[in-house]
Amino acid sequence: MLVYGGGSIKKTGLYEEVAAAMQAGNISFTELAGVQPNPRIDSVREGVRRCREEDIGLILAVGGGSVIDCAKAIAAGFFYEGDPWDFFTYSARVTKALPVGAVLTLAATGSEMNVNTVISNDQTQEKIGIGSKHLIPRFAILDPVYTFSVPAEQTAAGAADIMSHVFEQYFSANDGAYLLDRLGEAVLKTCIHFAPIAIKEPENYEARANLMWAGTIALNGLLSTGKETDWATHGIEHELSARYDMTHGLGLAILTPRWMEYVLSDKTAGKMAEYAHNVWLVHDSDNFEAARRGIQLTREFFHQIGLKGSLKELGVTVESLPVMAEKAAAYPIGRFKQLNADDVLKILQSAY
């Protein structure tokens, strides 16, 4: 089953290329089109039903993270008798899945080489991610040329997502992961260097190739090996995209500098200064000063690539802030600094 999104692959000609390759290999296929950004559980349900009816042996996702995530959830749902949403409420575990292949068209999530799938439910206004080794794609094709057509906003949002994946793993309470942190810094510098180039010159192969590679490395499990990771910013952002269908990377770009400011303390200043020194080449010897400068440069970078606006400007209502804070921190989140619902509310308010 060929799974794809709203039609970008038809506009770019990739659809024809994939179909021709299948025909050349004598592989018959059916299609599930129209997977939305922030993929919905309804698409997963439909995919499961169709895979069963049509006796599908492999799911080929051609698209960005949303398409790949939807394909993974369908693959897991195929072998589960109940409603696939049960995986996302943790009332069922993935024990088996159809094989998934991916042809990536947008550098961002790392879904092409990781265990995760993130699915939204309009009825419950939830967006939840799960992970299972059964969901790692069997193969992924990453041709930077397929990302030439990604619009500027999505290129920027993708870069912010990649950077956020590094932050969630880099800002860790436990130290002693020297190599991993240097690798993370390299991914960050790659995004900072190449995202503006890819936005200005969408067909710059070197920029697209480096961003694509960065996206995969940022979230394929490597950077978190042996580390305590944070993931609070992602938890908060998922509330925004669940309720407001916001672009994931845009939400992250707005929240990240606010989260950084909020968690800056005697305990965290050293690590945040390390980020400022190594990524932004900030020279202040005072940890707090360096950390603040690093945060400011992070915010300016997101603005420079077009990711700006307050939550209010993006249509978020003030009444929803406490609701989202309660949901995001139903139990304490974050390991770099643990956050409760009050903390999350303050971060959301500072982004409002």
- Interior/surface letters 209-221, b for 16+ CB within 10 angstroms, e for the rest: bbbbbbbbbbbbe
Structure tokens at 228: 């305590």
In the complex, minimum distance from the CB of residue 264 to ligand NZQ, in angstroms, rounded to a whole number: 23
Contact criterion met (CB below 8 Å) for 172 and 334: no
Contact positions vs Zn ion (CB under 5 A): 161
* Tokens 């990536």, residue located: 104
Residue 111 or 298: the one with the smaller Cβ distance to ligand NZQ is 111
116 binds, among Zn ion, ligand NZQ, none (CB under 5 to 8 A by kind): ligand NZQ
Nearer to ligand NZQ, 6 or 309 (CB): 6
The least distance separating ligand NZQ from the CB of residue 257, rounded to whole angstroms, comes to: 18
CB 130 within 8 A of CB 117: yes
Sign of the CA dihedral 121, 124, 127, 131? Answer: negative
Nearer to ligand NZQ, 287 or 298 (CB): 298
Instruction: Specify the residue for token string 């925004």.
Output: 240
The greatest distance separating any two alpha carbons of the chain, rounded to the nearest whole angstrom, comes to 64
- What is the spatial distance between Cα 280 and Cα 193, in angstroms, rounded to a whole number? 11
- Cβ atoms < 10 Å from Cβ of 324: 23
**Residue (109 or 298) nearer to ligand NZQ, CB:** 109
**Residue nearer to ligand NZQ on the CB measure, 149 or 350:** 149
Report in angstroms how near the CB of residue 137 gets to ligand NZQ at its nearest: 10
Size of the chain, expressed as the number of residues it contains: 352
Smallest distance, ligand NZQ to C-beta of residue 67, A: 6
Kindly list the residues in this chain that would bind ligand NZQ in the complex (CB under 6 A): 5-8, 12, 37-38, 63-67, 69, 105-106, 108-111, 114, 116-118, 129, 146-147, 149-150, 154, 158, 161, 219, 234, 241, 248-249
Least Cβ distance, residue 234 to Zn ion (angstroms) = 6
Partner interacting with residue 190 (select from Zn ion, ligand NZQ, none; CB below 5-8 Å by kind): none
**Closest chain position to Zn ion (CB):** 161
107 within 8 A of 211, measured Cβ to Cβ: yes
